[in-house]
Amino acid sequence: DVQLQASGGGLVQAGGSLRLSCAASGFTFNGGEIGWPAIGWFRQAPGKEREGISCFVLSDSSTYYSHSVKGRVTISRDNAKNTVFLQMNSLKPEDTGVYYCAAAIEGWGTTWNDRSEYDYWGQGTLVTVSS
* 57 three-state secondary structure: strand
Residues in the chain: 131
Contacts of 70 (CB under 8 A, 6+ apart): none
Separation of alpha carbons 96 and 120, rounded Å? 23
Strand partners, 84: 22, 77
Cβ proximity of 72 and 89 under 8 Å: yes
Pairing of strands 125-130, 97-108: antiparallel
Query: At 110, is the pLDDT very low, low, confident or very high (cuts 50, 70, 90)?
Result: confident
Give the pLDDT of residue 17.
Answer: 98
CB atoms < 10 A from the CB of 77, how many? 16
The single-letter DSSP state of residue 115 is G
Separation of alpha carbons 37 and 84, rounded Å? 13
**Could you read off the pLDDT of 2-51 as tens digits, one per residue?**
899 999 999 999 999 999 999 988 876 665 666 678 999 999 998 999 99
